[in-house]
Structure 1
Amino acid sequence: MIETFQRQLPNGTTLSCRAAGTAGRPLMVFLHGFPEAAFIWDGLLAHFADPAHGGYRCIAPNLRGFERSSAPADVAQYKAHLLIQDIQQLAATESSDGTIAALVAHDWGGAFGWGYANAFPQQIGRLVIINSPHPGTFARELRDNPAQQQASAYMNFLARPDAEALLSADDFRRMWPFFLGMKAGPDGHGWLTEDVKQQYREVWGAGLTGGCNLYRVTPLKPPPPGQDANTIPVPPRERLMVNVPTLVLWALDDAALLPGLLEGLDDYVPDLVVKKVPDATHWIVHEQPQRVAAEIEAFLHRR
């Protein structure tokens, strides 16, 4: 059974959360991306809360600016270190020692997962990243790879001042292609049922500014026309190293994040397992939930 609750953090942020499992058990935290929300993890919350699959305390917060979480108006309030602080303070309320047994993250959630593991490796037992680029390889590909620059060009649209108004118009007409524009898997787009669409409408109807602000605040996006890609900053190496056992689960038909982002990843992540999944897109959590659960479970049991 999925619980829902609001958690007030010491920094003043309130996160709306979904959870399953017994309080006090080892903690698993699940971080969503855009244009998603915490509900995408419901199946995995229930799976890993089951004693047969580890009996974890599983929590999926809605990131600040999403669903009913705090949504500050200032774009600067969406900088990565502040969202990482939100997750750290949430973990402190749910874990007796503030540690996370496993942090599972997708898309923008992965950006904060990479950052969390870099800043606080001693607080995470295992890291699972699902189709979310490491900042080191992402900066390189945005600077040097025209194909990735083109694949990421949508980021500049989402950073426009009028992005929320354009995305909300006509029953979110411009939002559905994020899903339907990806190559269909063996089951087509059958996962996008009317019930799932309604869950998305409710999330988007609560506001899209938080999600768009992530694109506005990040320096890691393709240069606008006429600007040199060399202006994209390369983070210092000490901010790129991840000394946590890490699984990267990568759907190979992701049209926005190309497989070149995996090249050189082991230079930043010494203890790394990469699992490439054919016939799956950026939305693999929806498309192949059983495969995702099985890969995570096998990794958690890895010696």
Structure 2
Amino acid sequence: MIDLERRRIPLPTGVTLDVTLGGPEDGAALIFLHGFPESARTWRHQMTELARDHFVVAPDQRGFAGSSKPEAVDAYHTAQPIADLLALADTLGIDRFTLVGHDWGGAVAWAAALARPDRIARLVILNAPHPLIFQRTLIDDPAQRAASQYIRAFRDPGMEAAITAMGLGTFFDTSFRNHADLTRIAAEDRAAYLAEWGQPGALTGMLNWYRAAAVVVPAPDETVERPAFIDAPFPPVTVPTLVVWGTRDAALLPCQLEGLDGLVDDLTLVRVDAGHFLTWEAPEPVNRAIRAFLSARPAA
């Protein structure tokens, strides 16, 4: 078993992140970005496996767990976590790295790969939609629009009070019940997440990711103006990319994979029989897919 350590790392972006890391520091670097409502803990099975021969780094992103929680919504625009990512890499002396992202971490990873291919050698995405496909399907696909109404709810300014009223334990169960096998969540992991969510400012920090996002989520029967970019040419992702997709995801439907090969120059797609939280629900096939991709697409 590879021992992982925790460090608290201040960044020039103005936040301090709790970071899990391990493995040989001279090994090829993998940086992992988690999503909502988790933390670096979601990568526990991947990090212990890949740290055998890689330098693995997983921050608790801004707004989550014990990391800094800026109050302003605009502190969570995508450019801010991208800046955190690059500042963290710089602080650790990492030039080019493989970027791995799930959920909101995947959204940051897509955007970072488009903006900074000079820093990102390879991209691994787990159940996080490509920004063009996601916005297009929210407009054009009634099923995806219906499945995404939770985003509108999370943007409501009264959501923190509603979660507090129901209790964090109930919120935990409702958050995961329809998206993962609750029997796969160890009691210690559940306790850890509840402790993270209970920290001052944590609920607002996590929800601000939704409030800051530019994505337009119409109500089910609403007619909205089409964002111009979804019908215009879109730049391709140029770095080798692996997408691992849990096919039982109830929030992100199979339409998120349609047309993806036209937006990524070098795409490997692996489907896994799992829900949205496949990192811990199906760790073995996820790890195999990542291992095979890293072997087939060695970093320059």
Q: Aligned residue for 2:196?
A: 203
In the alignment, which of 273, 288, 292 is matched to residue 268 of structure 2? 273
In the alignment, which of 133, 136, 160 is matched to residue 164 of structure 1? 160
CA contact (8 A) 1:166 1:174 kept: no
Q: Aligned residue for 1:11?
A: 13
Deviations 1:87-138 (A, max 9, x none): 0110112234x211x1111000000000110011121111100000000100
> Matches of 2:261 and 2:117 in 1, distance apart?
16
Q: Aligned residue for 1:178?
A: 175
> Matches of 2:133 and 2:118 in 1, distance apart?
23
CA contact (8 A) 1:118 1:239 kept: no
Superposed CA RMSD: 1.8
> Matches of 1:114 and 1:14 in 2, distance apart?
23
Does residue 88 (structure 1) correspond to residue 86 (structure 2)? The answer is yes
Aligned AA (1:229): V
In the alignment, which of 2, 9, 12 is matched to residue 4 of structure 2? 2
Q: Structure 1 vs Structure 2: percent identity of aligned residues?
A: 38
> Matches of 2:195 and 2:235 in 1, distance apart?
36
Q: Aligned residue for 1:128?
A: 124
Q: Aligned residue for 2:49?
A: 47
Structure 1 gaps, min length 5: none
CA contact (8 A) 1:140 1:234 kept: no
**206-215 or 250-259, which deviates more:** 206-215
> Matches of 1:142 and 1:285 in 2, distance apart?
25
Q: 3-state SS of the aligned residue for 1:253?
A: coil
In the alignment, which of 73, 76, 91 is matched to residue 75 of structure 1? 73
Q: Aligned residue for 1:192?
A: 185
Taking structure 1 as the reference length, the TM-score comes to 0.91
> Matches of 1:180 and 1:237 in 2, distance apart?
38
Structure 1 residues 168 and 11: alpha-carbon distance in aligned structure 2, compared to 1, 3 A threshold: same
Aligned AA (1:179): F
Q: 3-state SS of the aligned residue for 1:4?
A: strand
Alignment coverage as a number of residue pairs: 292
1:103-114 to 2 correspondences below 5 Å: 103-114=99-110
Q: 3-state SS of the aligned residue for 1:190?
A: helix
Aligned AA (2:191): Q
Q: CA deviation at 1:176?
A: 1.7
Q: Aligned residue for 1:261?
A: 256
Q: CA deviation at 1:25?
A: 2.5
In the alignment, which of 139, 142, 153 is matched to residue 143 of structure 1? 139
CA contact (8 A) 1:24 1:94 kept: no
Q: Aligned residue for 2:40?
A: 38
Aligned AA (1:37): S
**238-247 or 290-299, which deviates more:** 238-247
Structure 2 gaps, min length 5: none
Aligned AA (1:175): F
Q: 3-state SS of the aligned residue for 2:182?
A: coil
> Matches of 1:239 and 1:70 in 2, distance apart?
34
> Matches of 1:35 and 1:270 in 2, distance apart?
31
